[in-house]
């Protein structure tokens, strides 16, 4: 907020009789267009500060736009607070009439033979339909996929599994949506990777696409195998 200028060369007072006009020729000699740079007047680096700040901001914004394009920056994504922590305590009832074992924290803690996927889904969720073939493929390949049916009706969930196939080795039902909050869920589908010691290693919010499967999930499954 400095009133900058070469003060050392400032005329002491405005010359008398200077008219109010802006006409170039009415300008007193002391204010010639070129700044008289007296000895000792350093180049005012402060004046470059706005340019530098703006330049930094441009680079930052450009990086953000690039990130938007490549997907590395997502203004709407919420990171999981669970990564690197053991799965939360929970015990869910089974889906009635589905003949599948129920799911609880005990099934995910310690001594697992292989890393496990925990998938939150619902029959009313359109992206869940999109990702379902990926889950089926993983399940066929022998990756344990556990499901948590979120805020759903039992008959709708059963119909969904009948129609699209069942990838789940275990299935818990979270009708009130409370366990989901313990997991930090903010939408369905969401999929968590739990390693053999019961620690959450990865979370994907949104449908698992073939691309996510190959680029993110498979390497992780290999690393934690």
Compute how many residues bind other proteins; rule: CB under 8 A: 83
In angstroms, give the least distance from the CB of 47 to other proteins.
4
Which one among 135, 207, 208, 221 touches other proteins, defined by CB under 8 A?
207
Site for other proteins in 140-159 (CB under 8 A): 151
Nearest residue (CB) to other proteins, 119 versus 144: 119
Nearest residue (CB) to other proteins, 88 versus 104: 88
Binding of other proteins by 210 (CB under 8 A): no
Nearest residue (CB) to other proteins, 74 versus 155: 74
Nearest residue (CB) to other proteins, 48 versus 225: 48
Q: How far apart are CA 197 and CA 87, in angstroms?
A: 10
Nearest residue (CB) to other proteins, 39 versus 51: 51
Nearest residue (CB) to other proteins, 70 versus 99: 70
Which one among 183, 194, 199, 221 touches other proteins, defined by CB under 8 A?
183
Q: Residue 115's closest CA among 92, 138, 132?
A: 138
Nearest residue (CB) to other proteins, 13 versus 113: 13
Site for other proteins in 89-118 (CB under 8 A): none
In angstroms, give the least distance from the CB of 83 to other proteins.
9
For residue 158, give both structure tokens: 């059963």
Which one among 29, 39, 69, 142 touches other proteins, defined by CB under 8 A?
69
Site for other proteins in 33-62 (CB under 8 A): 33-35, 37, 44, 46-48, 50-51, 54-55, 57-58, 60-62
- For the chain, give the secondary structure using H, E and C: CCCCCCHHHCCCCCCCCCCCCCCHHHCCHHHCCCCCCCCCCCCCHHHHHHHHHHHHHHHHHHHHHHHHHHCCCCCCCCCCCCCCCECCCCEECECCCCCCCCEEHHHHCCCCCCCEEEEEECCCCHHHHHHHHHHHHHHHCCCCEEEEEECCCHHHHHHHHHHHCCCCCEEEEECCCHHHHHCCCCCCCEEEEECCCCEEEEEEECCCCHHHHHHHHHHHHHHCC
> Which residues lie below 8 Å from residue 41, measured CB to CB, with a gap of 6+?
6, 8, 9
Question: Other C-beta atoms within 10 Å of 104: how many?
Answer: 17
In angstroms, give the least distance from the CB of 153 to other proteins.
14
Span near other proteins by CB under 8 A; candidates 91-99, 134-142, 160-168, 177-185: 177-185
């Amino acid at each position: 907020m400095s009133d900058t200028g070469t003060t050392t060369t400032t005329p002491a007072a405005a010359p008398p009789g200077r008219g109010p006009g802006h006409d170039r020729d009415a300008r007193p000699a002391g204010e010639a267009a070129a700044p008289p740079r007296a000895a000792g007047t350093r180049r005012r680096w402060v004046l470059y500060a706005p340019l530098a700040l703006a330049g930094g901001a441009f680079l930052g914004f450009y990086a953000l736009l690039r990130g938007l394009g490549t997907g590395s920056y997502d203004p709407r994504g919420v990171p999981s607070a669970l990564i690197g922590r053991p799965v939360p305590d929970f015990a869910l009832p089974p889906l009635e009439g589905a003949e599948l074992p129920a799911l609880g924290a005990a099934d995910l803690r310690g001594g697992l033979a292989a890393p496990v996927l925990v998938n939150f889904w619902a029959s009313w969720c359109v992206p869940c339909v999109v990702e379902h073939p990926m889950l089926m493929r993983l399940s066929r390949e022998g990756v344990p996929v556990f499901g948590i049916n979120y805020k759903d009706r039992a008959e709708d969930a059963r119909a969904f599994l009948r129609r699209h196939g069942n990838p789940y080795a275990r299935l818990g039902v979270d009708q009130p949506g409370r366990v989901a909050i313990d997991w930090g869920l903010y939408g369905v589908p969401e999929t968590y990777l739990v390693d053999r010691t019961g620690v959450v290693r990865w979370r994907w919010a949104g449908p698992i696409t073939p691309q996510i499967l190959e680029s993110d999930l498979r390497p992780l499954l290999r690393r934690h195998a």
